[in-house]
C-alpha cells in the first residue's frame, strides 16, 4: 500500500480516509437529515444494497461517527445516531452543499 507510514500525517487525508467512500458521504447526508433506521436509509439511498449499507454503517460505527442502538422488539428495530464527532462533520456538508448549488454541472 501507499500509506504504510507511521500514521496518516495529514488531517485532510485522515478525514477522507474516514468518510471518503462513495456511499459513506451519502449515508451521512441522509443521517444529517434525520434518517436513522436501516430500511429508511436503504429506501432513500437510490437502491443501495443491504450489504453495502451494512458495511458502511459498520465502518462509521468503528470510527465513532455513529452509534448503533438495538431495541429488543419484534420486529427488531435498530437506530443509528450521530455522535458528537459525527455531528461535527456537518460543516463539511454545508460547505459542499453551498458549492454544489453555486456550481451546477459543467457550469464554467
Residues making contact with DNA (CB under 7 A): 2, 21-23, 37-40, 47-52, 54-58, 68, 75-79
35: left (phi over 0), alpha (psi -120 to 50) or beta: beta
**At closest approach, how far in Å is the CB of 79 from DNA?**
7
Q: Which residues contact 89 (CB under 8 A, 6 or more apart)?
A: 19, 28, 65
| Angle value at C-alpha 42, between 75 and 91, nearest 5 degrees | 120
Binding partner at 29 among a second copy, DNA, none, C-beta below 5 to 8 Å by kind: a second copy
6 forms part of the interface with a second copy (CB under 8 A): no
Nearer to DNA, 39 or 95 (CB): 39
Residue 43 C-beta: closest distance to DNA, Å: 9
Amino acid at each position: 500500500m501507499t500509506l504504510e507510514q507511521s500514521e496518516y500525517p495529514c488531517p485532510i487525508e485522515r478525514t477522507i480516509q474516514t468518510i471518503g467512500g462513495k456511499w459513506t458521504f451519502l449515508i451521512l447526508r441522509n443521517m444529517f437529515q434525520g434518517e436513522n433506521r436501516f430500511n429508511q436509509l436503504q429506501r432513500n439511498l437510490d437502491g443501495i444494497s443491504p450489504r453495502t449499507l451494512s458495511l458502511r454503517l459498520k465502518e462509521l460505527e468503528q470510527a465513532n461517527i455513529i452509534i448503533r442502538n438495538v431495541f429488543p422488539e419484534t420486529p427488531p428495530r435498530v437506530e443509528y445516531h450521530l455522535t458528537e464527532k459525527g455531528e461535527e462533520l456537518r460543516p463539511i456538508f454545508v460547505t459542499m452543499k453551498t458549492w454544489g448549488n453555486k456550481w451546477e454541472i459543467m457550469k464554467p
